[in-house]
Structure 1
Amino acid sequence: MKVVIVGGRSRIALLLTALLSRQGHTVVGTVRSERQGHNVVAAGGTPLVLDIETISVQALAESLSGADAVVFAAGAGYGSTTRQKEIIDRDGPILLANAAEKAAVNRYVLISSMGADYFDSGSADPFQIYLRLKSDADADLRARSLDWTIVRPSGLDDRPGSGRVRLGEGIGGGSIPRADVAALIARLLSEGIGIRHQFEVTSGAERIEDLVF
């Protein structure tokens, strides 16, 4: 299987790249410049230089040629402006969905955020704006006929993965290692499960390998 990860330099993306490549899959991770590609290579993937903020749907679709699945793992990040959040956190996933449809790549995993549908629409707080934009992107993907999965993690941290999680809707806060999010997505992709499911995920007691969708 060939997987293209938009936001290939993010920490979840690099962990996912390493897992999938060890399983024998081909992973391409997008980066903004040649010099950023070494992390993707070190994880076992192939870097692809493109700018999700400026690339056209047609050009992105051409970059997806031969792919079996796409993952959106990019994020504007802390300290970004509202416009940057709009371009990356909302418009980016929509752009990738449009390109995936054009390239006939049906499998799409979108990394979103816990609580994305529970935001204060009148707030100027950056996190509330972020949740609203994530919610918009999720809603767009749910309306498509792609084989989508929307993963909404709780607070992310860099603890070693436990291999155990809790899935559901409205499951509250908490935190989860990025390694466990990557392991969950690797299973979703490699086994072709979780299609047309949206769920929140945090650390828990259930083994990722035992999850039933």
Structure 2
Amino acid sequence: MKIAIAGGHGQIARRLGRLLTARGDRVIGLIRNPAHNEDLVADGVQPVVCDLEAASCDEVADALSGCDAVVFAAGAGPGSGAARKHTVDHQAAVLLTEAALQTGIRRYVMVSTRGAGSPPPAHADEVWAAYVHAKTAADEHLMAQDLDWTVLRPAALTDDPGTGAVRITAERSVGEVTRDDVARVLVALLDTAATAGLVLEVAQGSDPVTGAVAHAASHRTGAAGRG
């Protein structure tokens, strides 16, 4: 399988890229900064410089040529203001969606966030509120398309070593989850076609990743999928 990861130099994206290439998949990483090329090459990932804040849909579609699936793992990142939450976390995700449609790629896995799909709490600061709004808008746009999409909303992310065990539900995630385990879940989602049309929340738990994903796929509900 050939898979494109948007935001290819991100922390989850690099973990995902290494997992996929280690098992023999072809992976391209869409990056904004050419200085990150060497890191991706070291991971076994083919870097493609494509700034999703500036590229046209045609340019992104060209970058995706030959891919079987895309994963949106881009983000404005810590320290960015509310404006970039809109241009990266929302608009770039929409652009990748449109490019996938144009290219004929059906499988699209979205890395979203806890809290998306609901209004941010009243006490949230401006940047967090903008982030939640941006992620919600990106998710909703993707969910309205005729694609085999899956939306994954992780709990609070940590850099602790992964445990290989998670909790996947349709309800809002609470607690934490490691970036290692989110990457493992993304691999399992890409391998599990029956997760298309599901919005899933993931946190640390006691279920092995592959079993948790398989269980989610076999218990489709109106709250979790499009039916």
TM-score range normalised by the length of the shorter chain: over 0.9
**Secondary structure of 2:186's partner?**
helix
The count of corresponding residues between Structure 1 and Structure 2 is 213
Per-residue CA deviation, residues 138-183 of structure 1 (Å, 9 max, x unaligned), is: 0111111100000000111111111111111334421100000000
Name the stretch that deviates more: 24-33 or 175-184: 24-33
Across the aligned residues of Structure 1 and Structure 2, the Cα RMSD in angstroms comes to 1.5
Aligned partners of 2:64 and 2:100 also within 8 Å: yes
Query: Which residue does the alignment assign to 2:3?
Result: 3
**Secondary structure of 2:174's partner?**
coil
Aligned partners of 2:173 and 2:202 also within 8 Å: no
Q: How does 1:15-164 map to 2 (within 5 A)?
A: 15-120=15-120, 125-164=126-165
Per-residue CA deviation, residues 2-56 of structure 1 (Å, 9 max, x unaligned), is: 0000100001100000110111100000112322111111211110011110000
Aligned partners of 2:34 and 2:49 also within 8 Å: yes
Which residues of structure 1 form unaligned runs of 5+? none
| Sequence identity percentage | 37
**Secondary structure of 1:96's partner?**
helix
Query: Which residue does the alignment assign to 2:12?
Result: 12
Distance 1:120 1:114, change over 3 A: closer
- One-letter amino acid of the counterpart of residue 70, structure 2: V
Q: Partners of 1:169 and 1:188 in 2: how far apart?
A: 15
Name the stretch that deviates more: 162-171 or 130-139: 162-171
Which residues of structure 2 form unaligned runs of 5+? 218-227
Query: Which residue does the alignment assign to 1:202?
Result: 203
TM normalised by structure 2 equals: 0.90
Displacement after TM superposition at 1:94 (Å): 0.6
- One-letter amino acid of the counterpart of residue 127, structure 2: P
- One-letter amino acid of the counterpart of residue 32, structure 2: R
Q: Partners of 2:121 and 2:180 in 1: how far apart?
A: 32
Aligned partners of 1:153 and 1:176 also within 8 Å: yes
Aligned partners of 2:6 and 2:30 also within 8 Å: yes
Query: Which residue does the alignment assign to 1:182?
Result: 183
**Secondary structure of 1:202's partner?**
strand
Q: Partners of 1:44 and 1:193 in 2: how far apart?
A: 28
**Secondary structure of 1:54's partner?**
coil
Aligned partners of 2:82 and 2:126 also within 8 Å: no
Per-residue CA deviation, residues 78-133 of structure 1 (Å, 9 max, x unaligned), is: 22122211100111111000000000011000000011122248876211111011
Distance 1:193 1:43, change over 3 A: farther
Aligned partners of 1:121 and 1:129 also within 8 Å: no
**Secondary structure of 2:195's partner?**
coil
Q: Partners of 2:199 and 2:118 in 1: how far apart?
A: 15
Displacement after TM superposition at 1:58 (Å): 0.9
